[in-house]
């Protein structure tokens, strides 16, 4: 991973964020074949649609100048809640890494950079993760804890849990 650079996400990264959302949401399991199909799924689209709005915060991991992963935060409100919604003041994290880069440490690098940027801005960060997702152990290692009674069946039919990392 020596040639990987982590940089702030910009509005111009929206197309790449759609592709990372496709990976993160396991959309292929629901028969979707393209990130473009996510635009018609409101429960997913709001994670990326109009990226670069006030309050959006993210990082992109690039290898030799090519984007290979992204982690980003967005604030949601109770009337537009996302899967890992906790409250209106806690942004929800999303992360995706291209299949060939999984297990290389890129996800850890992305999360560390994003959480470092979020720490002075927010009291906490939340996320939703499938219970069988290997990334759950990474989240726990970084200090995320499951929200009691937050387990829910996601659109793919598996169980997901909401986790929170409290900074203060």
Tens digits of per-residue pLDDT, 86-142? 999 999 999 999 998 988 899 999 999 999 999 999 999 999 999 988 899 999 999
CA 26/CA 93 separation, integer angstroms: 16
**pLDDT top residue among 151 and 9:** 9
Residue 48 CA to chain centroid, in angstroms? 10
* Alpha helical stretches, state H, the chain: 14-24, 42-45, 106-118, 135-141
Q: What is the pLDDT of residue 28?
A: 74
Q: Look at residues 43, 75, 42, 45 and name the one whose alpha carbon lies nearest to residue 58.
A: 75
Q: What is the pLDDT of residue 106?
A: 95
CA 132/CA 158 separation, integer angstroms: 9
CA 35/CA 164 separation, integer angstroms: 27
Q: What is the pLDDT of residue 158?
A: 83
CA 83/CA 75 separation, integer angstroms: 12
pLDDT in tens, 25-56: 878 777 788 898 999 899 899 999 999 999 99
Host H or E run for residue 112: helix 106-118
């Amino acid at each position: 991973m020596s040639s990987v650079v982590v940089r702030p996400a910009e509005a111009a990264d929206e197309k790449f964020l759609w592709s990372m959302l496709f990976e993160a949401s396991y959309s292929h399991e629901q028969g979707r074949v393209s990130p473009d199909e996510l635009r018609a799924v409101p429960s997913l689209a709001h994670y990326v649609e109009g990226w670069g709005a006030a309050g959006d915060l993210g990082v992109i991991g690039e290898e030799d100048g090519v984007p290979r992963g992204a982690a980003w935060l967005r604030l949601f409100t109770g009337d537009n809640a996302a899967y890992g919604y906790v409250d209106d003041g806690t942004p929800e994290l999303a992360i995706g890494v291209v299949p060939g880069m999984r297990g290389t440490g890129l996800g850890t690098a992305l999360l560390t950079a994003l959480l470092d940027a979020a720490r002075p801005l927010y009291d906490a960060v939340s996320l939703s993760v499938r219970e069988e997702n290997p990334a759950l152990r990474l989240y726990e290692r970084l200090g995320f804890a499951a929200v009691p009674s937050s387990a829910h069946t996601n659109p793919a039919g598996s169980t997901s849990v909401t986790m929170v990392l409290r900074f203060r």
